[in-house]
Structure 1
């Protein structure tokens, strides 16, 4: 399975925001220090999260970011897709006429990995940000 650092950090940062936020905005610097994520990288991530209407920015000396919706309404899949991540276990593409590994047919394990992708995506569809913050058994 391939989930890049960007996807993992986006989920971590959103969980931090959900657990430390509330009515007051949280600065990216605070999240950066708590989660050990570089500030420039967080800025890139939060720009994408803001563009997908998951967070809003508040300007000023006490500014920062806040969740737009309650954490109970934010799916992990929404966070991952907001930062342009796709979870793929296959290197081949379903729509490719070449098949897997540049052969004219699917590889022998193609359906296994394809089904795993579906299970992972379904799992991330079911898990809410609130579940992570509350340390709910997943």
Structure 2
């Protein structure tokens, strides 16, 4: 499975938003400056995150975005599914009731695909945004409050 820039940048943007949420709302412009992601691309990502119920927008002076629920209740899986859609590494039709698979009764590889898909799901659903916020804050403290060098991914 390979995540697109939507998933990678969207996760970075949401971590940034959560880290700076104490400032009440966070603007697209401030996330863009800190993360090196274009404002127009961030707007597209935030629209998807808003539609998924992960962020809310605040209008008016001092408006911006904030999390729709506590960071400890949002999993990386929630974020990636909102941005990427299905996270399955392999779409095996043996597990789809409607389409089925002609060789499902004698296919051994379907067990491999199921284990891979289950492992991905378990991993992304077990990492919470709050954990990543804590880690980000630790890195900021370690760096003396200076922003951590931007990631290339």
TM-score, length basis structure 1: 0.81
Please list, as runs of the form range in 1=range in 2, the aligned pairs for 1:100-111 lying within 5 A after superposition.
109-111=109-111
Question: Quick one: structure 1 residues 26 and 127, their matched pair in 2 at CA, closer, same or farther if it must change by over 3 Å?
Answer: same
* TM-score, length of structure 2 as denominator length: 0.74
RMSD between superposed Cα atoms in Å: 2.2
The DSSP-based 3-state class of the residue aligned with 1:69 is coil
Please name the residue that 1:4 is paired with. 4
Structure 2: any 5+ residue segments left out of the alignment?
A: 137-153
Q: What is aligned with 2:21?
A: 21
User: Residues 1-138 of structure 1: matches in 2 within 5 Å?
Assistant: 1-90=1-90, 92-94=92-94, 95=96, 96-97=99-100, 109-135=109-135
Size of the aligned set, in residue pairs, is 132
Q: Which has the higher helix share?
A: 2
Q: 1:114 to 1:27 in 2, by over 3 A?
A: same
In the alignment, the residues of structure 2 paired with residue 76 and residue 31 of structure 1 have an alpha-carbon distance, to the nearest angstrom, of 19
Looking at structure 1, the residues matched to 51 and 65 of structure 2 have their Cα atoms a distance apart, in angstroms, of 13
Whether the aligned pair in 1 keeps the contact of 2:81 and 2:87 (CA below 8 Å) is: no
Deviation readout 1:82-110 (Å, 9 max, x if unpaired): 224222222554435556xxxx5687644
